[in-house]
Amino acid sequence: MRHDKNPYLKFKNEIVEILKDNFEFDIHFDFKTIIHYYHKEIIVSKDSIKFLILYKYRPKANIHLNDIGRINRISKYYSVQPVVVTNQEYRKKAIKLAEELNVLLTHKSNIKYKLLFCIKKEIKKIELENIEKEEKIYLCIYE
């Protein structure tokens, strides 16, 4: 099958196109996936925050529990935020599991927005943690 006729590869390339201007791609992780469409993960980063993106093109079916569990296990190995992007919907049980495991669910149309929002949220969290550390040091000095 030609690459331009393959819907799985086309879906992945569309995601790469959406993200390429705002994110860095881990080429060491993604090297084989550029050539072979059956590898369905890419790692992207911005401001030292990394995401493992599982792209799931489905002609008909919705995203299942096993997709959520799989990306969560892989993301723990790489210490990154897991993300699933699809062209379909998510089953209710998959949504519930994703909430429990802190897996970000999205669609191609809003993946960039969701990742950028997640980065802003994480940066604010880090800033607050740093302020709390400084306050504890300040309190220790003056006690």
Query: Domains of the chain: which residue ranges?
Result: 3-142
How far is 66 from 14, CA to CA, in rounded Å?
Answer: 24
Quick: pLDDT tens for 110-143. 999 999 999 999 999 888 888 877 766 655 665 5
Q: What is the pTM of this model?
A: 0.80
Among 88, 80, 95, which Cα is nearest to 8's? 88
Per-residue pLDDT at 137: 61
Quick: pLDDT tens for 75-107. 898 899 999 999 999 999 999 999 999 999 999
Query: What are the φ/ψ torsions at residue 25 (nearest 5 degrees)?
Result: -100, 135
Kindly indicate whether the domain formed by 3-142 is annotated with CATH number 3.90.1170.50. no
Query: What are the φ/ψ torsions at residue 24 (nearest 5 degrees)?
Result: -95, 140
